[in-house]
Amino acid sequence: MKRTRWCLGLLLAGILLFVGSCMEEPTEEPLPTPPTVPVSSTGYSDVKIPIEAFQSQPHVDVVMSTVLGGELTITLGSNPTTGYQWSEDAEISDETIIRQVSHEFVGPGIDEPPGTSGEDVWIFKGLKRGTTTLLLEYSRSWTGAGLWAVTITATIR
């Protein structure tokens, strides 16, 4: 009887040691760094924000500028296979200052597996000098609630 208890105790200890050695400590991977969009007195006319950047920062503010008649290009990571899409047209606070010229989705390419993200690209043209705000939202059309957003402060010099 003593021998059976001793064997069961030893077996239990072995099982606990085995299970403990199989379990790994969860390693926390660092969150992706939010995009850094430099702000200067001249601003930028091209901005590219990958889809991974929105995982840790769902709302991004961007400052851009161009000359009168110049263009601003913004490229945002996108994956419509999730049901989410960027708004087709930007909400522009003052359409006399800037106009949306185009918007297109650029897929990941035929060599990529299904479900791979692509990019949405918008081009805006400066119509007159001034500053205006543009808003782009990433949402599901049937819910109306935005998951991510980009606010662009655009200055036409």
Residue 24 lies in a domain: no
Indicate if the pLDDT at residue 61 is higher than 50. yes
For the segment 98-124, what is each residue's pLDDT rounded down to a tens digit? 999 999 999 888 888 888 889 999 999
CA 69 to chain centre: 29
Residue 71 lies in a domain: yes
CB distance 60 to 116 below 8 Å: no
Length of the chain (residues): 157
Phi then psi for 20, rounded to 5 degrees?
-65, -35
Overall domain count for the chain: 1
For the segment 66-75, what is each residue's pLDDT rounded down to a tens digit? 999 999 999 9
Model confidence at 3, in pLDDT bands (50, 70, 90)? low
CATH code for the domain of 112: 2.60.40.2020
CB distance 146 to 139 below 8 Å: yes
Q: Which domain holds residue 75?
A: 46-156
pTM: 0.69
Residue 30 lies in a domain: no
For the segment 23-41, what is each residue's pLDDT rounded down to a tens digit? 555 455 444 444 444 433 3
Residue 15 lies in a domain: no
With CA atoms as reference, report the closest residue to 71 among 35, 92, 98, 32.
Answer: 98
For the segment 126-145, what is each residue's pLDDT rounded down to a tens digit? 999 999 999 999 998 777 66
Residue 20 lies in a domain: no
Residue 27 lies in a domain: no
Question: Measured between alpha carbons, how far is 2 from 114 in angstroms, rounded to an integer?
Answer: 62
In the block, residue with structure tokens 């200052």: 97
Question: Measured between alpha carbons, how far is 26 from 77 in angstroms, rounded to an integer?
Answer: 29
Using alpha carbons, list the distances in angstroms from residue 2 to 15, 28, 77.
Answer: 20, 46, 67
